[in-house]
Amino acid sequence: MKNNPRGRRAAAAALAAVVVTTTLAACSAGSSGSGSSGGTGGAYQIWDPYPQFDNSSPWVSLLTKCGTDAGVTVKRTGYDTSDLTNKALLAAQQDNSPDVLIVDNPVISTLAEAGALATTGDTKLDTSAMLPNLLGAGQTGGKTYGVPIGANTLALYYNKKVLDAAKVDPSSIKDWTSLTAALAKVKAAGKKGITFSGIGTEEGSFQFLPWFWGSGANLTQLDSAQGVSALALWTGWLKDGYAPNSVINNTQTTSWQEFAAGDYAFAENGTWQLANAKKTGFEYGVIPIPASTGGTAPAPTGGEFVSVPVQSDTARYTTSAKIVSCLTGSDNLLATDTTLSYVAPTDAVQQKQVAADPELKVWVDAVKAAKGRTGDNLGTRYPRISEPMWGAVQAALSGSKSPQAAMTAAQTTAASATK
């Protein structure tokens, strides 16, 4: 097959929009000198965002096994998440991409629109077992560009001792009204209510989205009555003393540290804190984030997709697809998602996870209700909406603007940026 100049030009344009903060000399990839043409034998390059795992780890052992099963040698490189995006775009520009690329799910739309990724139609990957709401994060323009390897999301951790002192039954919390009433009881009992991350970064948007989506709002209309009501909920909690002023600057880590100190009734945080929750020294539980009028609010999904970058030699796709299918097959998903503290992207493996650890049931339910930030065909428009949204959250929490004024200004900015 001929080289893909159109894809390289698109990748170059996308790369120009990304701030490259690391040296680019380390870029090397699989399609250049990585083995024989036609996808049989040789070496296949895999890039992933897990630099914390060395060659002795179960993760790298799995990669090696999947390569061996496909009849090739795997050469794996782990990068920091932000660094990986830059390197993947540059590699696509140079027609020097790895054979398999594992990236954070919001990055998929950026790479796809840059022409850097093959579709699952090109690679013949079967995604039928994947939950549609999780697969949606890897879809844009009606095409699918990878397979989810797992997901995490947000829920509400609670401190049982604090709730008992306030005579609050966590099972009674079904909607915003009952949650706010519980916070009032906690405050009356002399304890602290809820902590979360409202910082002016993507972390702030990530934590605000369950409340925004849980109101029934859509990201294409930030200043809808529903969207304003979500921001009014948060600002009302600060005004009434149910949440601390520190949430304005809290990251998800500092918010968790506040909760772990033992005085707060609730903390909005993710699956990744389960191990830390066991170390707090107090009895805790987890409930879903409630939607405005009841039910579980859609929370945003975290987690990675396994994708196949565009190759000049398309015969390599067959072997790459075998490696991806191995990594995302049921048996390996169970082991991998346990290692990564992820909820599996398929019903079958989720059931195995809950059978092994019933504590995961609430997280499985939360993931089933979750949605991708770039879903609803937003693709690369999402970051241009998210930034004014977190700016609105900051303005309202600081008191510089009312929730309505903050969201109106955010919508004006987002509409202009996404034309």
Residues 6+ apart with CB under 8 A from 256: 267, 269, 273, 276
Lowest-confidence segment of 39-43, 84-88, 358-362, 409-413 by average pLDDT? 39-43
pLDDT at residue 280 tops 90? yes
Tell me how far apart the alpha carbons of residues 359 and 354 are, in angstroms, rounded to a whole number.
Answer: 7
Tell me how far apart the alpha carbons of residues 305 and 328 are, in angstroms, rounded to a whole number.
Answer: 10
pLDDT in tens, 204-218: 999 999 999 999 999
Choices 3.30.160.100, 3.40.190.10, 1.10.260.40, 2.60.120.10: CATH for 154-299+378-417: 3.40.190.10
Q: How far apart are the first and last CA of the chain?
A: 36
Kindly indicate the confidence band of residue 7, based on its pLDDT and cuts at 50, 70 and 90: very low
Q: What is the location of CATH 3.40.190.10 in the chain?
A: 5-151+303-367, 154-299+378-417
Quote the pTM value: 0.86
**Contact by Cβ (8 Å): 280, 269:** no
pLDDT in tens, 290-309: 999 999 999 999 999 999 99
The kind and range of the H/E element at 144 are strand 143-144
State the pLDDT at residue 94.
94
How many Cβ atoms sit within 10 Å of the Cβ of residue 330?
A: 12
pLDDT at residue 412 tops 80? yes
Q: In a 10 Å sphere around its CB, with 0-12 CB exposed, 13-18 middle and 19+ buried, how is residue 300 labelled?
A: buried
State the pLDDT at residue 30.
35
The kind and range of the H/E element at 78 are strand 73-78
Q: Is the dihedral of CA 107, 108, 114, 117 positive or negative?
A: positive
Q: Taking all residues of the chain, what is their mean pLDDT, rounded to a whole number?
A: 90
DSSP characters over 176-218: HHHHHHHHHHHHHTT-EEEE----SSHHHHHHHHHHHHHTT--
**Contact by Cβ (8 Å): 166, 172:** no
Kindly indicate the confidence band of residue 339, based on its pLDDT and cuts at 50, 70 and 90: confident
Kindly indicate the confidence band of residue 40, based on its pLDDT and cuts at 50, 70 and 90: low
Residues 6+ apart with CB under 8 A from 331: none
Beta bridge partners of 333: none
Beta bridge partners of 154: 270
* Short-list 140, 106, 76, CA closest to 376: 140
Tell me how far apart the alpha carbons of residues 15 and 92 are, in angstroms, rounded to a whole number.
Answer: 10
Kindly indicate the confidence band of residue 55, based on its pLDDT and cuts at 50, 70 and 90: very high
Phi, psi of 58 (to 5 degrees): -60, -35
**Residue 155 identity (one-letter amino acid):** A
Q: For 34-49, what is the mean pLDDT? A: 73
Residue that has been written with the tokens 């009841």 in this structure: 294
What class, spelled out in words, does domain 5-151+303-367 have in CATH? alpha beta
pLDDT exceeding 90 applies to what percent of the chain? 85
